[in-house]
Amino acid sequence: MIFGTHVHVGIEDRSFLIDAMNAARYMMPHLLALSTSSPFWLGRKTGLKSYRSIVFRSFPRTGIPRSLGSWSEFEEMITTLVETGSIPNASKIWWDIRPSWSYPTLEMRICDVCTRVDEAVCVAALFQAIIAKLWKLRCDNLSWRQYSAAFIEENKWRACRYGLDGQLIDFGKSRQLPARQLIEELVGWFVDDVVDDLGSRKEVEYALTILKSGTSADRQLATYQRTGDLKAVVDELIKETAEGVL
């Protein structure tokens, strides 16, 4: 079984909702790299930081979506798939980021489940801040450049494989740079001017702590390296999950 972190941000303007999805796709691999927590599968070390992403890829209608032109285009797609018996309803669209059919929200679904509550809150706050920044750009008659799903999928693979220790591609510069550097830019440059209005600076900047100390996947691998025992990894996960909650 696999589980992910899903975060909804309320957006009542459907036109902006689609535009926000198209733009925010670019940052999805960055958020995945911050949340990796599935380096093991069926009792084996996989060599990946997010094996959950690889398992989920075998399902239909998953991954980074292509850009959409409008809400009506999304609506037409859902209607066609339902009428042809392909899906019972829109909940079976399992993209990494998707417009919600049931609520006026944009839903981010790419992240693994964080095993510390502070990490989960950080990922949610960062996604909220990204959407707020895109809204600010829209109000200033500006936009974020869109890239094809094929480009973004390359970065997703790098996040799956290496997490924070790898490199992501800055497609604007056509250069690969350390994932940590690009996430620092996301936090310290892209969303910095909206987090105070949101009241989430502390939560967003917790990402810098994750960059220094590593993700759940990094901690799991370190425990396994130290003990050679998957039960010790599970015990550590239970302990982390209880921190700040129980």
Tell me the pTM: 0.95
Please write the tens of the pLDDT for every residue from 85-115: 999 999 999 999 999 999 999 999 999 999 9
Average pLDDT along the chain: 96
Distance CA 89, CA 71 (A): 16
Residue 4's beta-bridge partner residues? Answer: 112
Task: Go through 128-156 and write b for each residue having 16 or more CB atoms within 10 A of its CB, e for each that does not.
Answer: bbbbbbbbeebeeeeebeebebeebbbbb
Please give the C-alpha separations between residue 237 and each of 48, 49, 139, 206, in angstroms, as whole numbers: 18, 15, 43, 20
pLDDT in tens, 167-225: 999 999 999 999 999 999 999 999 999 999 999 999 999 999 999 999 999 999 999 99
- DSSP β-ladder status, 94-95 and 62-63: parallel
Nearest-angstrom CA–CA distance, 95 and 133? 22
Angle subtended at Cα 224 by Cα 222 and Cα 226, rounded to the nearest 5 degrees: 70
Q: How many domains does the chain have?
A: 1
- Percent of residues, the chain, with pLDDT higher than 70: 100
pLDDT reading at 1 higher than 90: no
CATH number at residue 49: 3.30.590.20
pLDDT band per the 50, 70, 90 thresholds, residue 6: very high
Instruction: For residue 162, give every residue at least 6 positions away whose Cβ sits within 8 Å of its Cβ, in sequence order, or none.
Output: 49, 179
Mean pLDDT of 137-162: 95
β partners of residue 168: 177
What is the structure's pLDDT at 93?
95
- The domain in which residue 236 lies consists of 4-242
Average pLDDT over residues 123-150: 95
pLDDT band of 53, cuts 50, 70, 90: very high
The pLDDT of residue 246 = 64
**Amino acid (1-letter code) at residue 14:** R
**119 confidence band (pLDDT: 50, 70, 90):** very high
* Distant-in-sequence contacts of 65-69, Cβ < 8 A, 24+ apart: 65/21, 65/25, 65/95, 65/96, 65/97, 65/98, 65/149, 66/148, 66/149, 67/22, 67/25, 67/146, 67/148, 67/149, 68/18, 68/21, 68/22, 69/18
